[in-house]
Structure 1
Amino acid sequence: MNNANRTQGIGETAAGMAQDAKDAASAELAVLREKVEALMRDRVTPALADAAGRAEDAAHDAMDAVRRQTGNFAATVRDQPIAAVGAAALAGIAIGLLLRR
């Protein structure tokens, strides 16, 4: 066998090995992709759904508290209108003084 044939044989062997490595890497990536997808489906998605549910519950609780406080405040203003106007005037004066500085 001459040098040209040996070189060609080595090149073909190297190309075959490179293709084998590429195929093995592709197979390994497919396995890893499946594992990541399973992890997302089984663990991450339910955890995010749970966190979103808790956040939604907290938001509803906060809205209920705001509604209650608004109702309480409105009742106080109805019961004591002069005190409410005085408090609003004092707050306006305080804000005006702070903004002038």
Structure 2
Amino acid sequence: MREEDLPEIEQLIRPEDPEQTFDESPPKLKEVVDVIKVIWRRGRLAESWHKADGCFIPKEEKSETLKQFRTISLLNVEGKIFLANLAKHMTNYMLSNDYFDNTVQS
């Protein structure tokens, strides 16, 4: 991880929508950045980043059957931040090096 990536990571942690804001205490941000730096140096994702916990959310107020629920996957926060940053860099790299034809066809 490069030092210039830190503002991007901070933006992922502190979104502009205040209702989605991550705990902004300085030690937390430093801890997340430290974890991401270790993962980057190792070149291998943490085992916990390969796992998700499933959770059922009711679609309706009095949900009783399985069809009335939707599932969500709860993922590791540090992993989501790291992978979002990686995806952004990969997308920019591939688009700037013409790996994709992004012209619109009519």
Between 1 and 2, higher relative CO (CA 8 Å, sep ≥ 6) is seen in 2
TM-score over 0.5 for the pair? no
**Larger Rg computed on CA atoms:** 1
Question: Which one has the bigger strand percentage?
Answer: 2
Question: Which one has the bigger helix percentage?
Answer: 1
How does the TM-score come out when normalised to structure 2?
A: 0.21
